[in-house]
Amino acid sequence: MLLQVLGTAAGGGLPQWNCACPGCTGARTHPHRRRRHASLAVQAGAGRWFLVNATPDIGDQIEDSHALRPGPGPRQTPVAGVLLTDAELDHTLGIARLREAAGFDVLATRPVRHALLERLRLGATLAPYTRVRWNELGAAPQPLAPDGTVTATALPVSAKRPRYAVDLPPDAPGADDWVVALSLRDTTTGRTLLYAPALARWTDTFQQAVEAADCVIVDGTFWDDDEPVRTGISTRTATGMGHLPIAGENGTARRLSRVRARCLYTHLNNTNPLGDPDAPQHRMLRDWGLDIAADRMVIDL
Ligand code: MLT
Ligand code: MN
Ligand code: ZN
């Protein structure tokens, strides 16, 4: 199974257009520190790819990746559709940019689809431009490749709704599939990638999926729980914002350092010290046997 990392930054990107914090300023001064919004592409059949989340950077992300470029036909694209981990704007705004396509699939959980259709009105908005096929993503493996060799399964990780949809009634009591981790599996080799750019809780089911995976790409939004408060971007902690931090008591590093899978962090916020390649936190990460995903990284599982 072939995967391409298209971006590794949280909402806003690195640098964020209206931000002059040390992280964003550093990325303007040192262009190699720039990171696009977190996204991934997975190959599902010959010349056929699905994007995992559609970010505001989607046009540049497709253009920059050789495998995703159009051709040989004048309007022929290898992009078959988009898988969504949640309904957050940094993961969904790019859907409208695909409107020049003849059609494409969107795979999302029920509450995510509901938010996109009822609140962002993407169904009605895009209907005059293109044919969007809305498919349900859930606990049963969904075939992505025509021959079923690559599948996607959703693992609920939290009931956190995007700010634009907080007043929508939960789809079911306590519906915890507003945010999911995706398990992408090559059924011929059994190799699996677990992708969780937003992780609010470490459940037993998630632990089992981590143990079964060959590669895990996880929420690295914040280094520690206090970071959003300390840097003045929020009054809530990382956990309060729906992102388990990397370090500390309830941090993900402690758990990931014990698994056999290759573990990479993504969705780095511009306040995260890891955005600076000289930060001492990189050494701590290395000592734990963990790493950070990089934009344009290719993972051949
Ligand atoms: C998040 O990851 O918590 C959200 O994307 C925040 C946002 O960008 O509004
Ligand atoms: Mn986000
Ligand atoms: Zn910033």
Q: What is the reported pLDDT for 282?
A: 98
Q: Quick count: other Cβ atoms within 10 Å of Cβ 129? A: 12
pTM above 0.95? Answer: yes
Q: What is the reported pLDDT for 174?
A: 64
Give the C-alpha separation, 235 to 12, whole Å.
18
Give me the percent of the chain exceeding a pLDDT of 90.
96
Average pLDDT over residues 214-243: 97
For the Cβ of 242 lying below 6 angstroms from any atom of ligand 1, the answer is yes
Give the C-alpha separation, 195 to 213, whole Å.
10
Range of the domain at 291: 2-300
Average pLDDT over residues 97-123: 97
Structure tokens at 160: 């956190």
Of all protein residues, the one whose alpha carbon is nearest to atom 8 of ligand 1 is 11
d(CA 269, ligand 3 centre) in Å: 8
Q: Which residues contact 30 (CB under 8 A, 6 or more apart)?
A: none
d(CA 93, ligand 1 centre) in Å: 12
Q: Which atom of ligand 1 is nearest to the CA of 10?
A: 2
**The domain spanning residue 125 has which CATH number?**
3.60.15.10
For the Cβ of 88 lying below 6 angstroms from any atom of ligand 1, the answer is yes
Q: Which ligand is nearest to the CA of 16?
A: 3
Average pLDDT over residues 137-159: 95
Q: Which atom of ligand 1 is nearest to the CA of 88?
A: 5
The tokens 């939960």 sit on which residue?
170
Of all protein residues, the one whose alpha carbon is nearest to atom 6 of ligand 1 is 11
Mean pLDDT score across all residues of the chain:
96
Q: Is the pLDDT score of 291 beyond 80?
A: yes
Q: What is the reported pLDDT for 171?
A: 64
For the Cβ of 200 lying below 6 angstroms from any atom of ligand 1, the answer is no
Instruction: Count how many domains the chain has.
Output: 1
Give the C-alpha separation, 191 to 218, whole Å.
17
Structure tokens at 36: 């696009």
Average pLDDT over residues 141-163: 95
Structure tokens at 146: 């025509």
Q: Enumerate residues with CB within 5 Å of ligand 3 (an ion).
A: 16, 19, 21, 23-24, 270
Report yes or no: 54 and 98 within 8 Å, Cβ to Cβ: yes
Q: Which ligand is nearest to the CA of 39?
A: 2
Task: Summarize pLDDT for 34-92 with one digit per residue, the tens.
Answer: 999 999 999 999 999 999 999 999 999 999 999 999 999 999 999 999 999 999 999 99
Q: What is the reported pLDDT for 172?
A: 67
Task: Summarize pLDDT for 160-210 with one digit per residue, the tens.
Answer: 999 999 988 766 666 889 999 999 999 999 999 999 999 999 999 999 999
- Could you give the count of Cα atoms lying within 13 Å of 2 in the half-sphere of its Cβ? 13
Structure tokens at 145: 């490749």
Out of 88, 160, 272, give the residue to mutate to test ligand 1, the one with the largest number of ligand atoms within 8 Å of its CB: 88
Q: Which ligand is nearest to the CA of 12?
A: 1
**DSSP-assigned beta bridge partners for residue 155:** 181
Q: What is the reported pLDDT for 231?
A: 96
